[in-house]
Structure 1
Amino acid sequence: MKPFRPGWVPTLVVLALLPGLVALGCWQLGRAEEKRALLASYAERRVEVPLATTQLTADEDNAFRRVHLFGRFDAGHSVLLDNRMRDGQAGVELLQPFHDQASGQWLLVNRGWLPWPDRRVPVHFGTPTQALALDAAVYVSPGHTFQLHPDPLGGQWPHLLTAVDAAQLWQQLDREGYAHELRLEPGPATYRLDWPVVAMGPEKHLGYAVQWFALAAALLLLYLYFGWHHNKEKRHGHRHSTGPA
């Protein structure tokens, strides 16, 4: 059997890279499983009867739960969520405080997406003044939104932000409010409503996992091949150097 002598430099490279490649593949598999569970929860809760707003604080796991609202919007403290694309077109999502009469608490309601093709012109939107009966779903962000720079605090309304934190907004307005965003279902006071449930589906995570594992396998095979091949070349060169003069 041929001796295996890959050399210490290739060995160090493999020891440094191989665990990381395998770990990245396993991480992508875990993310795929999380997305499957998230999509299953969404599908299950879409068919449930809407909760009353008084039940929102009864269960901490309220993601995707449907809720029935009745109250009025606060047009004076609107939030525009920037950098939202639809069909290749730039725009914003409009979020407004909503005072629910049944529970007496404030809710941050996302009314949907509006186009904003010319940033020199303010976004145009209207706000109903009458009390409305609406259905919405609780949206719990899966993580923090990546921001190159934090959004400025204060300033004129409406606020143009790249990420929204409902709890921080209620603190700024000195109000008692629900800590998560609610996304409206089709009905009065809505704009375009087509939010993706997840930004990246489980199948894409599986694809990335396969790529990481394939890179790990390729690295290991190359290491084994050159370990034996390099040793064979060294022995072949040694025979030539010790041959008759």
Structure 2
Amino acid sequence: MKRLPIIPTIIVGAAIAAMIALGLWQLGRADEKRALLAVYTANLAKPAIAYPALAPVPDEALFRPSSAQCLEVVNWRAEAGRTRTGESGYRFIAECRTGAEGPGLLADMGVSRNPAFRPAWTGGQVTGRITTEPQHGSLIGQLFGNAPPPRPMLISDNAAPGLEPSAQPSIDEIPNNHLAYAGQWFFFAAVAAIIYFLALRRRQRPTDR
């Protein structure tokens, strides 16, 4: 019998071990995500809290009702969004001044089907639920912690004039795909092991002369 190739075996073994480790890590992440979703679900029934002006938003604050005073709208942002009836459109996020200094307030003030709409709302008391601003950072930055944490944002209960109320944040929109990812890594590890085993068997076959 031919000797087992040492270097290829080490490389393949290390790759399989890494895949299994990633699968186990995803299983742990699935448990963490389930616990986090339980916290968010409980937050929906809790009373209002003070608006967290700074990022990152604590898990205990997400989806809680809150309110804040928008002294002046300094900028409007249009993002893809949905109304409470499920219709697609553009939600308009007000960047507000809340005082002489400080991080200010982000408030989702409603949805329009016209991306060129210019809201006339200039400020006031905003009451709604706490969520986070839309993220546009790269996936690599999010995975390796290079992206800044998203700032808190209120989804207003009442739309600004000319807009329809935005859909309230929903637990159902938070994916928990870690079990599927774990299964994929275990599958990749099994496929790699089978392919290498078949390659070794073929290598052991006598060659015709």
| Same fold? TM cut 0.5 | yes
TM range (shorter): 0.5 to 0.7
Distance 1:181 1:52, change over 3 A: closer
Task: Calculate the aligned-residue CA RMSD, in Å.
Answer: 4.2
1:183 aligns to 2:150 (yes or no): no
Counterpart of 2:183? 210
Measure the CA separation in 2 of the matches of 1:34 and 1:50: 25
In the alignment, is residue 146 of structure 1 matched against residue 138 of structure 2?
yes
Q: Which residue of 2 aligns with 1:224?
A: 197
* Unaligned runs of at least 5 residues, structure 1: 149-162, 167-179
Q: Which runs of no fewer than 5 residues in structure 2 stay unpaired?
A: 141-146
Alignment of 1:1-245 (within 5 A): 5-8=3-6, 10-52=8-50, 61=58, 62-64=60-62, 66-69=64-67, 71-75=69-73, 77-82=74-79, 84=80, 86=82, 91-97=90-96, 99=98, 106-116=104-114, 122-127=116-121, 131-132=124-125, 134-140=126-132, 145-146=137-138, 180-189=151-160, 191-195=165-169, 197=171, 201-202=175-176, 204-231=177-204, 233-234=205-206, 237=207
| Structure of larger gyration radius | 1
The 1:4/1:140 distance shift into structure 2, 3 A limit, reads: farther
Is residue 37–residue 171 contact of structure 2 (8 Å, CA) maintained in 1?
A: yes
- CA 1:165–1:11 in structure 2 vs 1: closer, same or farther (change >3 Å)? closer
Is residue 109–residue 181 contact of structure 1 (8 Å, CA) maintained in 2? no
Assess if the C-alpha contact under 8 Å between 1:73 and 1:127 holds in 2: no
Identity %: 23
Q: Which has the higher contact order (CA 8 A, sep 6+)?
A: 1
Cα distance in 1 between the residues matched to 2:201 and 2:103: 72
TM-score by length of 1: 0.57
Task: Give the aligned length.
Answer: 192
Say which is worse superposed, 64-73 or 39-48, in terms of deviation: 64-73
Q: 1: distance between equivalents of 2:154 and 2:109?
A: 7
